[in-house]
Structure 1
Amino acid sequence: SVQRIEKRLGQRLFERTRQGYLASDAMLAIPTHAERIESELEAARAAAFSPAQAISGRVRLTTVDAVLRGLVLPLVPSLAQRHPQLQLELRATNELMSLTKRDADIALRAIIPTSKPPDHLIGRNLGEIRFVICAPKSWSAAKRRSAIDSHDWIAPDEALPEHPSVRWRRKNFPKVLPRYLVDGVVSVADAVTAGVGVGILPLFMLDTEPRLTAISQPLDNCNSQLWLLAHPESRHLRRIAAVYQHFADGIALP
């Protein structure tokens, strides 16, 4: 029981309150030590066995919806073919999941050029994400050539108020108010594809969205840097290292 374990350790693992049990500082430290032990065991196992031994286990990768659709998913089949026993958990969210708290093993994050990733993480800058104004390819050439501010706009203003596309439009087209507000960049792409209007999208999405077309050159001062990040204590686990390297090698930004 918990009480016997606490007695053997000589300290409390849980504080008993009216609301229930709360983990003590000692208890909160246990997962970190356990993961460090796992890392060391995995490193020893990797050294003892042939590199050809199958990689297995679960790897959790978090990113935003546009990066998942446009850059991650196209590389998943080749990853599965290379490591058939590997399980990949993909999470698309605009919230920053913590690698330190082990909410995820690997993160692909778009970071504005004036910022940098947290110092406690290790990572690789995969390049610049550029943005263009997009319209449905089904529109006539004349309609696509008409004044950009004459179209209905789709944007994630309320969901992502600091997104580079939102900030750029507000600065360069201050009188344009989006007619359609959506909850993310993929929703912008879906709405544009459906013929609803125009929107600003990452240039890389045009490679996987054949029904979209750019009606502008890459926009000046509208970009972000794509970083591939992992925690230093788990980065060398074989399963995490394999997934990390696969996306580091496979992602090429236009």
Structure 2
Amino acid sequence: MLAQTQYRLSAADLEVVLAMARTGTLAAAGERLGVDASTVFRAVQRIERGLGQRLFARSRTGYLANELALSLAERAEQVEAALESARTVVNAAPDQVSGTVRITTTDTILVGLVAPALQALHAVHPNLAYDLRASNELASLTRRDADIAVRATRRPPQHLVGKHLGSIRVGLYAGQGSGMTLADVEAGRTPWLAIDDAIPDHPSVAWRKRHFPKAMPTYFLNSLQIVAEMVAMGMGVGILPLLMGRACPDLMLLRDLHDANQSELWLLTHPESRHLRRVAVVYGHLAQTLRLP
């Protein structure tokens, strides 16, 4: 048993808990924090002793955050976002920020979330320009192929820093005027539009193969945005993020797939890039404004 004391958590403590929750190992957390693994180990022990309870379950593969640790990590992310916002205010005054910020994301997230946020930022910083790259591949932030990434992933690369934006829920959609129903899908009377080869680990692929193992897609595509447009045309059914469905009146939700393995959306940057003025402004704005429906 750990002794219960009146312990006052510090911002540094929250930073340690967040790094451990994100990475799951002492070495990776130390890399994020700029210290060695033994320093992180001692910090975790000190915090747990102070709180009087465990934060992580130890195993051969690493450290698994428990409910309390996840709750503390969530609050640490809020502190992190507030700091980024404060840096943005400082960096933005008194002069206008200028330069080009390279952002990599998927076409779905770009159209549904990132573009509207950048449109609002342009009114405040009209001298900023954006190099937007829509791809299913994560550009290397380490090689500076991009400054900021907005990506769906369950475990972001350990050498990056970022903010967890929430879970991407998906649903089964048909075209609004197509006449297709869930009964038609279950009876195998509708064509499927799928992205198996382009994004094989997407929740839609696993869900369809689990619930409709005999269904053979009629159309294979490499873009969810194109899947959405073709579904809206009435060419078949497809599994799409709810954020896309809600933005398109020509799509009809047949079923909210609560049982699909949801992707987690992350806003990511390199530790050295986020302090560049132009990157800090854009990162801070996205951290404050990007919200999943």
Please classify the TM superposition score into its range, dividing by the shorter chain length.
0.7 to 0.9
Partner of 1:245: 284
Structure 1 residue 249: Cα displacement: 1.6
Structure 1 residue 237: Cα displacement: 1.4
Partner of 2:20: none
Are positions 1:165 and 2:195 aligned together?
Answer: no
What is the Cα-based RMSD across aligned positions, in Å?
A: 1.9
Match of 1:202 among 231, 241, 256: 241
Higher helix share: 2
User: Whose relative contact order is higher, 1 or 2, with alpha carbons under 8 Å and at least 6 apart?
Assistant: 1
Summarize deviations over 1:39-66 as a string: whole Å, max 9, x none.
xxxxxxx999871310100100000111
Cα distance change, pair 87–159 in 1 and its aligned pair in 2 (3 A): same
Letter in 2 for 1:222: N
Q: Give yes or no for contact 2:232–2:251 (8 Å, CA) kept in 1.
A: yes
Provide the rounded CA distance (Å) in 2 between the counterparts of 1:127 and 1:170.
25
Are positions 1:89 and 2:131 aligned together?
Answer: yes
Provide the rounded CA distance (Å) in 2 between the counterparts of 1:109 and 1:184.
15
Cα distance change, pair 105–147 in 1 and its aligned pair in 2 (3 A): same
Cα distance change, pair 145–165 in 1 and its aligned pair in 2 (3 A): closer
Partner of 1:144: 181
Are positions 1:54 and 2:54 aligned together?
Answer: no
What stretches of structure 2 of length at least 5 have no aligned partner? Answer: 1-87
Q: Give yes or no for contact 1:203–1:218 (8 Å, CA) kept in 2.
A: no
Structure 1 residue 147: Cα displacement: 3.2
Letter in 1 for 2:269: A
Are positions 1:227 and 2:269 aligned together?
Answer: no
Provide the rounded CA distance (Å) in 1 between the counterparts of 2:271 and 2:138.
18
Cα distance change, pair 193–48 in 1 and its aligned pair in 2 (3 A): closer
Structure 1 residue 89: Cα displacement: 0.8
Provide the rounded CA distance (Å) in 1 between the counterparts of 2:91 and 2:158.
33
Greater Cα offset, 155-164 or 129-138: 155-164
Structure 1 residue 134: Cα displacement: 0.7
Partner of 1:181: 220
Provide the rounded CA distance (Å) in 2 between the counterparts of 1:171 and 1:52.
56
Provide the rounded CA distance (Å) in 2 between the counterparts of 1:64 and 1:132.
18
Greater Cα offset, 177-186 or 125-134: 177-186
Summarize deviations over 1:139-174 as a string: whole Å, max 9, x none.
33xx33433233111001122222211111111110
What stretches of structure 1 of length at least 5 have no aligned partner? Answer: 1-45
Partner of 2:114: 72
Provide the rounded CA distance (Å) in 1 between the counterparts of 2:244 and 2:89.
40
Residue 178 of structure 2 aligns to a residue whose secondary structure is coil
Cα distance change, pair 126–50 in 1 and its aligned pair in 2 (3 A): closer
For this pair of structures, how many residues does the alignment match?
A: 204
Residue 55 of structure 1 aligns to a residue whose secondary structure is coil
Question: Segments of 4+ in structure 1 off by > 4 A?
Answer: 46-50
Provide the rounded CA distance (Å) in 2 between the counterparts of 1:187 and 1:91.
16
Provide the rounded CA distance (Å) in 1 between the counterparts of 2:287 and 2:242.
19
Provide the rounded CA distance (Å) in 1 between the counterparts of 2:184 and 2:279.
48
Provide the rounded CA distance (Å) in 1 between the counterparts of 2:273 and 2:217.
43
Provide the rounded CA distance (Å) in 1 between the counterparts of 2:290 and 2:147.
18
Cα distance change, pair 102–69 in 1 and its aligned pair in 2 (3 A): same
Provide the rounded CA distance (Å) in 2 between the counterparts of 1:190 and 1:74.
19
TM-score by length of 2: 0.66
Q: Give yes or no for contact 1:62–1:90 (8 Å, CA) kept in 2.
A: yes
Provide the rounded CA distance (Å) in 2 between the counterparts of 1:202 and 1:155.
13
Larger radius of gyration between Structure 1 and Structure 2: 1
Q: Give yes or no for contact 1:131–1:222 (8 Å, CA) kept in 2.
A: no
Q: Give yes or no for contact 1:155–1:181 (8 Å, CA) kept in 2.
A: yes
TM-score by length of 1: 0.76
Provide the rounded CA distance (Å) in 2 between the counterparts of 1:68 and 1:50.
24
Partner of 1:191: 230
Provide the rounded CA distance (Å) in 2 between the counterparts of 1:207 and 1:57.
34
Q: Give yes or no for contact 1:106–1:229 (8 Å, CA) kept in 2.
A: yes
